[in-house]
Amino acid sequence: MASTPNRPAPAAPAQQGFVFLPLIAGWLIPGAGHFLLRKWGRGALLAISIVCMFAIGLAMRGKLYANASDILEILGLLGDLGSGLLYVVGRAMGLGADSVQLTVADWGTRFIVVAGLLNIIAAVDAHNLRTGRKS
């Protein structure tokens, strides 16, 4: 009895293009990495969450870190830079308080930093989707 030969399953078509593009796009613009991968719903939810958190932080008179004079300021600046273009636009428009005067402003500063950190998580997730580490 003839048996059909075992053929390997055809490999998934390799995605073309720069492999780090979703990572970089997701860092610069929240949700853009997922949009590039046609994950519209996930990208929209991530973009809304991160942009709202950043905007609420600014509305609470949170501080956008500009210089790095001590270790806490360096860590805050790194967190802020995670927001990508949101941080650049915020700095260019002079948004954010220069110094924290109120308790609410201190919470706002944390909102801004955490928005940047969440954006980094989202961008890495887009990279994992692009490389096939996550489906």
Partner 1 sequence: MFSPTHFTAVLLFGLFASIVFGITQRETPQRMFRYGLYCFSLFVGSAIVLSWVMYLIAR
Applying CB under 8 A, which residues contact partner 1? 42, 45-46, 49-50, 52-53, 56, 59-61, 104, 107, 110-111, 114-115, 118, 121-122, 124-125, 134-135
Tell me, letter by letter, the H, E, C secondary structure of the chain: CCCCCCCCCCCCCCCCCCCCHHHHHHHHCCCHHHHHCCCHHHHHHHHHHHHHHHHHHHHCCCECCCCCCCHHHHHHHHHHHCCCHHHHHHHHCCCCECCCCCHHHHHHHHHHHHHHHHHHHHHHHHHHHHHCCCC
Q: Smaller CB distance to partner 1: residue 24 or 45?
A: 45
CB of 67 to partner 1, least distance (A): 24
Q: Smaller CB distance to partner 1: residue 20 or 107?
A: 107
CB of 52 to partner 1, least distance (A): 6
CB of 62 to partner 1, least distance (A): 10
Q: Smaller CB distance to partner 1: residue 30 or 77?
A: 30
CB of 34 to partner 1, least distance (A): 8
